[in-house]
Amino acid sequence: MPFYPPEQIDLINSYNDIVEVVSQYIPLKRSGRNFKALCPFHSEKTPSFTVSPDKQIFHCFGCGAGGNVFSFIMRRENMTFPEAVRYLARRANIELPEVDSRSASKKEHLLKLHELAAGFYHWGLTESKTGAKARAYLENRGIKDRAIKSYNLGYAQPGWDSFLKYAGKKGYKPGMLLEAGLILDRSKSDGYYDRFRDRLVIPVCDSRGRVIAFGARVFDDSKPKYVNSPDTPLFRKGNVLFGIHQAREAIRECGEVILGEGYFDVIMAHQEQLNNIVCSQGTAFTEVQAQVLKRYTDKVVVAFDADQAGLAAALRGLTVFLQKDFEVRMVLMPEGQDPDSYIRSSGVAAFKKLVAGSIPLIDFKLERLCRMHDIETDRGRLTVVREMLDTITQIESAVLKETYAKKLAARLGVSAGAVWEEYRKQKTPKLSRPTLRQTPEIKVNKYESRLLKYLLENDRVLSLIKDELDPEAFSPPLQPVIELMLTMIRKGESPGSRSLMTALREQESQEIVSGLLMEQSSEEIQLAEAAEIIIDIQKKLLRAKIAECRKTVASKDVAEEETDAILRQSMRLSGELKAFPDRIRKKMEL
């Protein structure tokens, strides 16, 4: 992948006004200081897509899409970040030097580091004393040794810096570990600590079987259930399908792929010799993932959890696959079951029968809507037609559009002509609506969001408390944003909207920031309230860390010398819990 210097990225950004770029694709209409339009990334009748010339960002309040000019081009043209950089450089007549060797060398080092980490975690599961509870957990879930070996499952030690020390002895510097997402920077003192601690570790591989990321699960119901690798030079979660390296040959042979929702859906199925199953990385399926699957098959069977969230996820992915002309079918899972639990309780043969009895996904959506709305009434039929057309209007194939429209008309007992007339009302002429991702709702704590918005607009306050904020104290979606803002402040850079958006690489983070910056709130917080929110979230983190220390000591799974170190750490954290409120108020000049 080409490497472009940050100063070149900034130059290209400054020469590509976002209003001018977006206007090449959709008509914008001025609304106060901003511009509005119908969103190019989802179907809508009332404009919710907003572009800010002042902040050089866009955000759709309908589907959540947001970012800067690079993000827009990546979505609209289905490009990677380097491709979007080259595209916008050509538009601005800027010569773009490429430096490939450093990037390639870095990628090789990161791959070797991930291989080292996977080996360390696998040792932790299979050989270490502390890995006993992870082994018991897997045994309780019915995961056998062959699956543990095949997926190279592991266990992250409970210590704060177990892998950090191990990698250091192997010659890896903290900077490389940070870039790989394997450690985190201590915000209040010098040093680093492991990202994954006291968790079952699941390596995520690319299509060639190389480890590029990790997912790490707790053993109980504590939150967050999973801690995942952030986006890195090796890994972008919307581009990767878990299990693809083990499933691709089986997918070719079977002529279809089963889409599960979680790691254990895939691991359990593969263990029972059902190999043509993969899953996404906890997000809705993307166009990139659909393109990967298209190399092996054009038939998809969706087997998501049999709950409302699972069904909603299936429908979000519907458009992505239909746009790529997949034949898509839906497995009707029993209530309260997912593929993992169903195979454990009923066996893989029973699950295969469910797969064989799957129904077309378009029929599934139609029948679900017919159950939700009274189709004996005119209003009920109209509602079903309009919701079905939200999907049908985005399909590229004219043949498929006509087929689905006729099927819809027949089910509701109306004429095909009436459906087509409604279709013509909804269709926006000559405006295709490509979607890189059917954006799921991003759940972010309300008070944390208000604090982040305040800090985005008051970087002087952020500079006063740059050594006090800990990204881990925030909910997972906000952590990458806070971490990057603190890094920029410590380097003497201002994390203004334009520079921050350029530096952010995760699509979810861009959408959060663009949404907050575009938000017109009448409840803007003041300095004193910001301080209290910071104190509250930091105290919650400190209490959680103290509880984790006590839990580790109580488990008696650690050596005596490590127990002493953990107790000292607990005492230090207790002292910090008492001192933090006064210190933060003083630094914020209250």
- What pLDDT was estimated at residue 200? 97
Percent of the chain with pLDDT over 90: 35
69-118 pLDDT, tens digit each? 999 999 888 788 888 998 999 888 888 765 554 555 678 889 999 999 99
- What pLDDT was estimated at residue 360? 86
User: Has residue 430 got a pLDDT over 50?
Assistant: no
How far out from the chain centre does Cα 507 lie? 8
- Please report the sign of the dihedral spanned by the C-alpha atoms of residue 453, residue 459, residue 464, residue 468: positive
Q: What are the start-end ranges of the E strands in 145-230? A: 154-156, 183-185, 192-194, 199-205, 211-217, 226-228
State mean pLDDT over 581-589. 85
- What pLDDT was estimated at residue 266? 97
pTM above 0.75, yes or no: no
Buried b (16+ CB within 10 A) or exposed e, 44-61: beebbbbbbeebbbbbbe
- What pLDDT was estimated at residue 1? 53
- What pLDDT was estimated at residue 218? 94
197 or 513, greater pLDDT: 197
233-270 pLDDT, tens digit each? 889 888 899 999 999 889 988 999 999 989 999 999 99
- What pLDDT was estimated at residue 435? 40
323 or 136, greater pLDDT: 136
- What pLDDT was estimated at residue 576? 87
Structural tokens at position 288: 């990139």
> How many C-beta atoms lie closer than 10 Å to residue 256's C-beta?
20
> Residue 433 — pLDDT band, cuts 50, 70, 90?
very low
- What pLDDT was estimated at residue 140? 95
249 or 552, greater pLDDT: 249
User: Has residue 310 got a pLDDT over 90?
Assistant: no
User: Has residue 3 got a pLDDT over 70?
Assistant: no
CB-CB contact of 15 with 92 (8 Å): yes
- What pLDDT was estimated at residue 479? 84
- What pLDDT was estimated at residue 97? 66
How far out from the chain centre does Cα 152 lie? 23
Q: Considering only 96-100, 340-344, 383-387, 565-569, which range has the smallest mean pLDDT?
A: 96-100
CB-CB contact of 152 with 122 (8 Å): yes
Q: CA–CA distance from 555 to each of 56, 138, 161, 200, 548 (Å)?
A: 52, 18, 19, 16, 11
388-418 pLDDT, tens digit each? 887 787 777 788 888 888 999 999 999 888 8
User: Has residue 438 got a pLDDT over 70?
Assistant: no
375 or 521, greater pLDDT: 375
- Name the residue with tokens 């010659």: 171
State mean pLDDT over 496-514. 77
316-332 pLDDT, tens digit each? 666 788 878 888 899 98
Closest CA to 259 of 337, 200, 328: 328
- What pLDDT was estimated at residue 519? 77
- What pLDDT was estimated at residue 341? 94
Q: Order the strands of the 154-156 sheet from edge to edge.
A: 154-156, 199-205, 211-217, 226-228
- What pLDDT was estimated at residue 250? 92
> Residue 480 — pLDDT band, cuts 50, 70, 90?
confident
Three-class DSSP labels, 320-362 = HHHHCCCEEEECCCCCCCCHHHHHHHHCHHHHHHHHHCCEEHH
> Residue 196 — pLDDT band, cuts 50, 70, 90?
very high
CB-CB contact of 301 with 258 (8 Å): yes
User: Has residue 227 got a pLDDT over 50?
Assistant: yes
Q: CA–CA distance from 352 to each of 304, 326, 328 (Å)?
A: 14, 21, 16
User: Has residue 582 got a pLDDT over 60?
Assistant: yes
State mean pLDDT over 298-308. 81
- What pLDDT was estimated at residue 247? 93
As a whole number, the mean pLDDT across the chain is 85
